[in-house]
């Protein structure tokens, strides 16, 4: 009987299987980068995600990475106040501050120092491109990472070209490899749909990102998150209630595909074992549970932890 599903079957080129469970991983990009980072942490991998907050477009991701690689700190001139908080146009609102300018700069520059070190030491960098649409500060060439709820009249909205997207990807890879020549770079397009410009506008944006990656001269591995969502899963039951974000089931499925195609077989095995320990460590014990059962659970968990540390010393 014919299959009524178009499941993604990766080619050899799409299955690099080069990430190790002991790798230090940095994930930068859209909210889907956070989804992937959470999944990686659940298998006890060492992951740093979005040091300067969520970034959606290639231009802002490039600006973020350049700042981190150059260890370029924020200055008072880059701060502005809106709705009682201090922001910058190069960071997400999660790094905004309701305190003094000194406190805001300390928080921002701590993130720069930490993020710079993470990229310099990373074995693997995962970039998640969300959209080709950008916001430019009116009257300037400044592309912002976040509008921070300022009036729309302050910005000009436009879409990057394929050539611009490719150039930003080239610049990202060159900048990172200047300080970390051996890093493995993975690029994916987020499966989250952005419908501010309608279905057609979303498809143009995603196509621009995919073609930009395809036209880039840089060396990296491409993982098809968006394509899996649209052409493998392609059913509303795999979307969250807003019909834009992938459901937990879809995120799990895409992550499993990423794990099986981009990680070594040894890393896949280690991830499975560590996920089992993570589930035990995350388990909330009912206070009504008999003491002897709780003690056995805790002892078994400690034994499993010790066995995994012996087997995978880097987990320490």
Q: For residues 98 and 85, is the Cβ–Cβ distance under 8 A?
A: yes
Tens digit of pLDDT at every position of the chain (316 positions): 467 788 999 998 889 999 999 999 999 999 999 999 999 999 999 999 999 999 999 999 999 999 999 999 999 999 999 999 999 999 999 999 999 999 999 999 999 999 999 999 999 999 999 999 999 999 999 999 999 999 999 999 999 999 999 999 999 999 999 999 999 999 999 999 999 889 999 999 999 999 999 999 999 999 999 999 999 998 999 999 999 999 999 999 999 999 999 999 999 999 999 999 989 888 888 888 888 888 898 898 999 999 998 998 888 6
Euclidean distance between CA atoms 192 and 131, whole angstroms: 9
Alpha helix ranges (H) inside 31-127: 31-42, 58-70, 101-121
The CATH topology of domain 24-265 is Rossmann fold (3.40.50)
143 is written with which tokens? 């592309």
pTM of the full structure: 0.93
Measured CA to CA, the distance from residue 188 to residue 186 in angstroms comes to 7
């Amino acid at each position: 009987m014919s299959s009524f599903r178009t499941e993604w079957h990766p080619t050899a080129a799409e299955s690099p299987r080069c990430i190790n469970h002991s790798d230090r991983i940095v994930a930068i990009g859209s909210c889907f980068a956070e989804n992937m980072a959470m999944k990686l942490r659940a298998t006890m991998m060492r992951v740093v995600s979005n040091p300067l907050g969520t970034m959606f477009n290639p231009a802002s991701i490039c600006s973020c990475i350049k700042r981190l690689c150059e260890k370029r700190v924020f200055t008072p001139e880059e701060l502005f106040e809106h709705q009682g908080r201090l922001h910058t146009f190069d960071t997400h609102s999660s790094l905004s501050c309701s305190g003094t300018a000194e406190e805001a700069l300390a928080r921002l520059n701590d993130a720069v120092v930490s993020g710079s070190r993470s990229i310099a030491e990373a074995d693997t960098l995962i970039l998640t491109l969300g959209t080709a649409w950008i916001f430019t500060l009116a009257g300037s060439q400044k592309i912002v990472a976040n509008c921070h709820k300022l009036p729309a009249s302050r910005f000009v909205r436009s879409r990057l070209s394929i050539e611009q997207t490719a150039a930003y990807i080239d610049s990202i890879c060159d900048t990172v490899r200047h300080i970390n020549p051996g890093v493995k770079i993975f690029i994916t397009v987020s499966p989250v749909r952005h419908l501010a410009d309608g279905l057609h506008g979303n498809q143009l944006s995603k196509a621009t990102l995919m073609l930009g990656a395809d036209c880039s001269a840089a060396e990296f591995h491409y993982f098809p998150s968006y394509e899996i969502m649209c052409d493998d899963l392609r059913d509303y039951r795999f979307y969250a209630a807003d019909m834009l974000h992938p459901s937990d089931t879809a995120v799990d499925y895409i992550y499993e595909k990423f794990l099986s195609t981009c990680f070594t077989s040894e890393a896949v095995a280690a991830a499975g074992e560590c996920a089992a320990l993570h589930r035990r460590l995350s388990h909330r014990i009912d206070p009504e549970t008999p003491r002897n059962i709780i003690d056995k659970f805790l002892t078994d968990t400690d034994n499993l932890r010790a066995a995994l540390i012996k087997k995978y010393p880097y987990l320490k």
